Amino acid sequence: EAQVTQNPRYLITVTGKKLTVTCSQNMNHEYMSWYRQDPGLGLRQIYYSMNVEVTDKGDVPEGYKVSRKEKRNFPLILESPSPNQTSLYFCASSFQRGNTEAFFGQGTRLTVV
């Protein structure tokens, strides 16, 4: 089954404790991206990757890192989480960048206390 798998689904952590949210897709998509969803705002792009070892900042990259060592995986790293990073996060992948449908992971609800 074609899918994007994100883990964990829910996470409560403390300020400053490094964490990683994993994302994996099995559709051989080149393009992957991370979004955050906050109340009253649309999905905002954090980082994206056009291929292995190619990553770039989205609209809200501060406080986040990503890596793309393999085509299927695109982890999101929060080196020192802060309460303003409490949000719902989605990973997405697509065959091409803007004109093919995006497939979304199940979402990760992160709370930083």
Q: Which residues bind another protein (CB under 8 A)?
A: 4, 33, 35, 40-45, 48, 56, 58, 90, 97-107
CB of 83 to another protein, least distance (A): 23
Phi, psi torsion values for 40, nearest 5 degrees: 80, -5
Q: Which is nearer to another protein, 74 or 90 (CB)?
A: 90
CB of 59 to another protein, least distance (A): 8
